[in-house]
Amino acid sequence: MSRSAHALSTPARPDVTCAVRRGATRLLRQAGFVVASEMTFASGRRADLVGLRRNHEIWIIEVKSGLADFRADQKWNAYVDYCDALAFAVPESFPIELIPPEIGLIMADGFGGEMLREPLRSPLAPPRRKAVTLAFAQLVSARLMAIEDPDFSAG
Q: What is the pLDDT of residue 83?
A: 97
Q: What is the pLDDT of residue 1?
A: 37
End-to-end CA distance of the chain: 55
Q: What is the pLDDT of residue 122?
A: 95
Query: What pTM does this model have?
Result: 0.88
Taking every pair of Cα atoms in the chain, the longest distance, rounded to a whole number of angstroms, is 57
Q: What is the pLDDT of residue 118?
A: 96
Low-confidence stretches of the chain (pLDDT beneath 50):
1-8
DSSP conformation letters of 24-89: HHHHHHHTTEEEEEEEEPTTS-EEEEEEEETT--EEEEEE--SHHHHHH--GGGGGGGG-SEEEEE
Q: What is the pLDDT of residue 73?
A: 80
Q: What is the pLDDT of residue 121?
A: 95
User: d(Cα 28, Cα 143) in Å, to the nearest integer?
Assistant: 20
